[in-house]
A and B are shown apart, each in its own frame.
Chain A
Amino acid sequence: DAGVIQSPRHEVTEMGQEVTLRCKPISGHNSLFWYRQTMMRGLELLIYFNNNVPIDDSGMPEDRFSAKMPNASFSTLKIQPSEPRDSAVYFCASRVGPTNTEAFFGQGTRLTVV
C-alpha cells in the first residue's frame, strides 16, 4: 500500500479564495483524522470520521472550515474563504478503527495564504 496520500503537497493561495485539501486513506482503514500543525499549537485535531461518518468536528476552528468523506477512500477539507491565519501544515491520518491501533499520517499539505 502507498500509505495515506494527500494532495496537493503545497498550496499557495490569496486571501478570500477557496482551498480544498484532499486525502486518500489506506485501504481498509475506517477511521480518518484531519490535523493542523503550527509552531505555536502543535498538532490540533480538527475533525475525525468513523466509517465515513463525522464523529467530532469540535476542533474545526470556524464555519469557514468544512470536511467531507463521501466514501471510504476519499476525504476533503475545505476552507472558504481562506485567511492568512489559516497558513499551516494540514495532515490527514487513517487507522483501522475503532480499536486503539497506530494512526498512519500522510505527508501533509503546506498551505500558505497570502
Chain B
Amino acid sequence: QQQVKQSPQSLIVQKGGISIINCAYENTAFDYFPWYQQFPGKGPALLIAIRPDVSEKKEGRFTISFNKSAKQFSLHIMDSQPGDSATYFCAASLVDAGTYKYIFGTGTRLKVLA
C-alpha cells in the first residue's frame, strides 16, 4: 500500500515535444507529491511538488496534473529540450512516527532528441 507505481520506464521525445510521465498510488494517507530530477552522476533534486487539494500546478514548462479520485498524478514537460534529458522520479509523502517520509517511484529515463 505504500508503493508508488511510475511509468513509463524510459521515454524518448523529440525536441519541442511534450513529455508525459505518470504515477499512481494506493494509500490515501499520502499528502504531498514531489517530482525529483536526476542528472547522471548527481543526486536527485526537487523539480516541482503538489498537494492533493489542487488539481494542477505549473512552473515554467513543467506541470503536475493531480487526480485525487483516481489516485494518479503526472508530470508534463512542455517544449521538451535536450537539457531536460534526465531521470525523473515521482514521490509521495506521508507522516510516520512524527516525520514525513518519501516513497519514490522507480524512475523514468527521459531522452530528448535534438
> Can you list 20 residue pairs at the A/B interface with Cβ under 8 Å?
A31-B99, A33-B102, A35-B104, A41-B106, A42-B106, A48-B99, A50-B98, A50-B99, A55-B101, A56-B97, A93-B43, A97-B99, A98-B99, A100-B31, A100-B32, A102-B34, A102-B46, A105-B44, A105-B45, A108-B43
Question: Given contacts A50-B98, A56-B101, A98-B99, are A106 and B43 in contact (CB under 8 A)?
Answer: yes
Contact of B102 among A45, A55, A99 (CB under 8 A): A45
Q: Is A100 in contact with B46, judged by CB distance below 8 angstroms? A: no
Do B101 and A48 have beta carbons less than 8 Å apart?
Answer: yes
Chain B residues near A41: list those with CB within 8 A.
106
The count of chain A contact residues (Cβ–Cβ below 8 Å) is 27
Within 8 A of B (CB), among A33-65: 33, 35, 41-45, 48, 50, 55-56
Q: How far is the CA of A104 from the CA of B45 in the complex (A)?
A: 7
Question: Given A43-B104, A45-B101, A48-B101: A56 and B96 within 8 A (CB)?
Answer: yes
Instruction: Give B61 Cβ to nearest chain A Cβ, in Å.
Output: 20
- List residues of chain A with CB within 8 A of the CB of B93: 100
Q: Mark B residues whose CB is within 8 Å of A.
A: 6, 31-32, 34, 36, 41-46, 49, 89, 93, 95-107
| B89 to chain A: closest residue by CB | A43
B99 touches A105 (CB 8 A): no
| Interchain nearest-CB distance for B114 vs A (Å) | 25
Report the separation of the CA atoms of residues A50 and B96 in the bound assembly, to the nearest whole angstrom. 11
In the bound complex, what is the Cα–Cα distance between A3 and B23 (angstroms)?
29
Within 8 A of B (CB), among A67-114: 91, 93, 95, 97-100, 102-108
